[in-house]
Amino acid sequence: MKYAILFLSILLYTAGNAQDHSHMGAQPLTYPNIPGYTTLKTDFHQHTVFSDGNVWPTIRVQEALRENLDAIALTEHLEYQPHAKDIPHPDRNRSFELAKAMDEAEEHGLLVVHGSEITRSEPVGHSNALFISDANQLLHEKPEDAFAAAKEQAAFVFWNHPAWHRQSPKGTPILSDFQKARIKNDELHGIEVINNVEYSEEALKLALEQDLTIMGTSDIHGLIDWNYTEKGNHRPITLVFAREKSIESLREALFAGRTIAVFNDLMVGREEFLAPLLQASIEIIKAEYIENTQIVEIELQNISSSDLLFENAMDYTFYDSSPVFEIPAGKSKILQIKTLEKKDTVTLKLKALGCFTAPQQQPVIEWGVQAK
C-alpha cells in the first residue's frame, strides 16, 4: 500500500510540475508592443565553444528561454577558432544547427537566426552577418569578398563594438574607407551602440548620420547569469519592432531600422520608435483630484523591464515629489500635480532622462490623462 501511495505522489508531483513547466528565470524580460508592431526581444551577438565562447550552443537557447527572449543568433567567429583542437569543426554552420535543433526552442517559440561573425583587425573590424544560408561561404582571404558573399546571401550585416578600445585606443569608432565602401555597396546595415556594458554616443551619432540600424547586444562568451544576472543586470538587447513574430518579419524590421538598444535603464533609439515604446511602458492606473483641492493624483505603472527615470517637463509643479523621479520596473508611482484649477484632461509631460534619441538628446513623452 505504501508503494502505491508513493507512486501516486510521484505521478501527482510530475503532473503538477509538467503543467507549470516554465523556463522563466528570475529576470524574464518584458516590453510592450507599440502601435502597428510587435516588440521582439533579441540578442544577435553571442558565442559558444564553436568559436571563443565557453558554453555549448544549447545553453544559449536555455538562457534565452529563461529571460523570455524572442530571437537569438549564435555568431561564431569565422576566422578565430581557439577550441578547434578539442572541438574540430570544419563546418561553420554547426553551432547554429545544434541550437536550431533543440525541441525547446520550437516549443517555446524562440526564433534562432543563422549568423556568423566576420573577424578582422582594423580598419575592417568585426561584423555580424544575420539571416545567412551557409557560413562556410563567408570564409575568404580578402574581407571585401567575405562581405560580398554575405550580400549574396541577402544578409543583414552590422558593425560590432566599433568603439572597442583594443581596436580603437581612444574608445571612439573610426569610420574607415572600408566601412564607407561597405555602406555604399549595401553590405553594412547596422551598428552596435551598446555592446556588453558599454554605450557609445559616437556610435549612435554614426548610426544617425549613416542611416544604420541601432543595435544592442550582450556579446556573451561566458554565462549570462555570471556576467549579468548575478550583478543585478539584464543582458543588453535589441528591441525589434516587427509586423509579426517570424524570421521574415524580423529581417524586414532590421533592414528598415525599427529598433531600440536597451541595457537596464538605458534605452537608445530613434524617436519615432522610442517615444511610443515609452508611452506604452507607462500605464495610467488612476487620475483623481484630492477632495477640495486643485491637486490631481496620477498613479503611473511601469510595465516594462527597465527602470525609468523621468523629469517633470510640464508648466505645473509637483506637490510632494522631486521633479526628477524613478519608476522601477514593474512598480508604480503616484504623482501629485498642482494644476491650479480643476481640469477634465491633464497633459502629462515627462522627459525620459535615461533614454536617448541622439547624443545627449532625451525625448519628452506626453500622455493625455482623463481626471476625475
Tens digits of per-residue pLDDT, 259-308?
999 999 999 999 999 999 999 999 999 999 999 999 999 999 999 999 99
- What pLDDT, on a 0 to 100 scale, did the predictor assign at position 170? 86
This prediction has a pTM of 0.92
- Residues 208 and 191: their CA atoms lie apart, in Å, by 10
Q: Which three cell numbers, joined as nine digits, stand for 59? A: 545553453
Distance in angstroms between the alpha carbons of the first and the last residue of the chain? 65
For 203-222, what is the mean pLDDT? 98
For 333-342, what is the mean pLDDT? 96
- What pLDDT, on a 0 to 100 scale, did the predictor assign at position 23? 55
Domains 24-264 and 282-370 share a fold: no
Domain boundaries of the chain, sorted by first residue:
24-264, 282-370
pLDDT over threshold 80, residue 13: no
Q: What is the per-residue pLDDT across 121-159, written as a single tens digit (0 to 9) for each?
A: 989 999 999 999 999 999 999 999 999 999 999 999 999
- Determine the CATH number of domain 24-264: 3.20.20.140
The single residue listed with the C-alpha cell 554547426 is: 94
Higher pLDDT, 37 or 15: 37
- Residues 212 and 228: their CA atoms lie apart, in Å, by 27
Residue 125, SS3?
coil
Q: Taking Cα atoms as reference points, which of 169, 114, 159, 108 lies closest to residue 137?
A: 114
pLDDT above 70 covers a percentage of the chain that reads: 93
- Residues 351 and 355: their CA atoms lie apart, in Å, by 9
- What pLDDT, on a 0 to 100 scale, did the predictor assign at position 26? 57
Q: Which three cell numbers, joined as nine digits, stand for 346? A: 491633464
- What pLDDT, on a 0 to 100 scale, did the predictor assign at position 14? 39
For 206-213, what is the mean pLDDT? 98
- Residues 76 and 65: their CA atoms lie apart, in Å, by 20
Higher pLDDT, 124 or 7: 124
Q: Taking Cα atoms as reference points, which of 363, 350, 211 lies closest to residue 275?
A: 363
- What pLDDT, on a 0 to 100 scale, did the predictor assign at position 256? 98
pLDDT over threshold 90, residue 92: yes
Contact yes or no for 183/252 (Cβ under 8 A): no
- Determine the CATH number of domain 282-370: 2.60.40
* Triad 95, 100, 101: Cα angle to 5°: 100
pLDDT over threshold 90, residue 204: yes
CB-count exposure of residue 46 (10 Å: 0-12, 13-18, 19+): buried
User: What single-letter amino acid sits at 175?
Assistant: L
Residue 249, SS3?
helix
